[in-house]
Amino acid sequence: MRRLAAAIEERTPRVDVLVNNAGSIFIKRASSKDGYEKTFAVNHLAPFLLTHLLVDTLKRSGPARIVTTASNAHRNAKIVFDDLQTTRKYSPMDAYGMSKLANILFTLALAKRLQGTAVTATCVHPGFVRTNFGANNEHDVSPLIKRIYLLIARFARSPEKGAETVVHLAASPQVQGESGGYYFDCKPIPPAAAGQDDAAAERLWQVSEQLVGIA
């Protein structure tokens, strides 16, 4: 993330839109080079750090927008503050859900910090989209699970449909100045109660700062 931010700063004097869309899920627990569980590292800590590194450029470029891809997988999730790295018990869907809840709480806390600036922060549920998401687990799932996924994927959204709300939040004049919201099909929807917890959002922010070394 630091190399990416440095490359962006070197190549362009302004950033109008930052879309935090990269993400993954890991069937088997794995750690990043920093020693963090990879789902949490890729889906939350990476965009948290990249946004921090680019926020001054975004402010100078304003009006600017930050859009983060979350998911309705957050709805049954919780932030386990005493085991963010899921060392005690690992479930890929629990880890993924927690990371997506972290995306929403990050957006909530970020929007508050951006008040009074020309930068907004929103997050989006793109729906179940037919992409190569999760392909990194190809060797860790059974042939039966692969066949079931291929069957279900027939009913998934196209990548174009999945990107629709992201593009809307990045470019539409209809949401100019709107900040802190969670969107689906180009409309704001309420996240789960856990995604509206200001105290949890602030606690996660402080912990995340420590984990990425910017506290």
Q: Is residue 62 within 8 Å of 17, Cβ to Cβ?
A: no
Q: Which residues make Cβ contacts (< 8 Å) with residue 159, sequence separation at least 6? A: 129, 130, 131
Each residue's pLDDT tens digit, 6-64: 999 999 999 999 999 999 999 899 999 999 999 999 999 999 999 999 999 999 999 99
Question: What pLDDT shows up at residue 146?
Answer: 46
Residue positions annotated with a catalytic role: 96
Strands (E), the chain: 17-20, 64-69, 119-124, 182-184, 187-188
pLDDT at 156 over 50: yes
Q: How far apart are CA 73 and CA 53, in angstroms?
A: 27
- The whole-angstrom separation of Cα 160 and Cα 174 is 20
Query: In the structure encoding, which two tokens stand for residue 116, read together?
Result: 């009074």
Domains and CATH numbers, the chain: 2-212 (3.40.50.720)
Q: How far is CA 37 from CA 9, 29, 136, 169, 197, in A?
A: 28, 7, 15, 30, 24
Label residue 162 by pLDDT band (50, 70, 90).
confident
pLDDT at 212: 97
pTM of the model: 0.90
